[in-house]
Amino acid sequence: MRKPLFFVLAASLALAVAYVTVHAADEPMPSVGQAAPTFTLPSQDGSQIALDSFKGKWVVLYFYPKDMTPGCTIEAHNFQRDLAQFEAKNAVIVGVSVDNPDSHKQFCTKEGLTFRLLADPEHKVVDEYGSLGHFGPMTIANRNTFLIDPSGKITKVWTKVDPKVHSGEVLAAIPVS
């Protein structure tokens, strides 16, 4: 009796992974020159944050796989380290993952992060930005970043970024106001 149950579970898992893979291709990644897709998501403090609330500022919208993992922690620390330089260029940093607001709150507290981390556990915004991915059976956000200008247009897109150097790359792409 165990073998049929094992095969049913294995088949179910294979279908779930296939759905995530197919679903990831549903939304193309927004491109340079396009208006950034708008959204509203909860942040680590539970407040609802809308992309539109940052009109007039540069927005560094970065997607990352998971709170409290090594690469994501390095990337977040580097954005935090450079935050004053981003602010001097009239820029805000907004991170998005599929983790929930409580996970973001713990991550921010543990790592001393003061910029916004937005929760997208339903994968709507991650998918809309063409950044939905998977790691085995786990759904994640792929490590992609969108630089949005003060008028709301995408000016640069980075995919599969190196978390060790990415903050500097983004900072260099924002003109001095």
Structural domain spans, the chain: 2-173
Question: And the tokens for 83?
Answer: 């935050």
C-alpha span between 28 and 166 (Å, rounded): 23
**Per-residue pLDDT averaged across 153-172, rounded?**
97
The confidence score (pLDDT) of residue 176 equals: 85
Reply yes or no on whether the pLDDT at 25 is more than 60. no
Contact (CB, 8 A) for 164 and 76? no
Fold held by 2-173: Glutaredoxin (3.40.30)
Interval 88-133: pLDDT, tens: 999 999 999 999 999 999 999 999 999 999 999 999 999 999 999 9
Of residues 110 and 176, the one with the higher pLDDT is: 110
Reply yes or no on whether the pLDDT at 19 is more than 60. no
Model confidence, pTM:
0.84
H or E element at residue 11:
helix 2-24
Question: And the tokens for 19?
Answer: 């759905």
Question: And the tokens for 160?
Answer: 């599969």
- Looking at the annotation, which residues are catalytic? 72
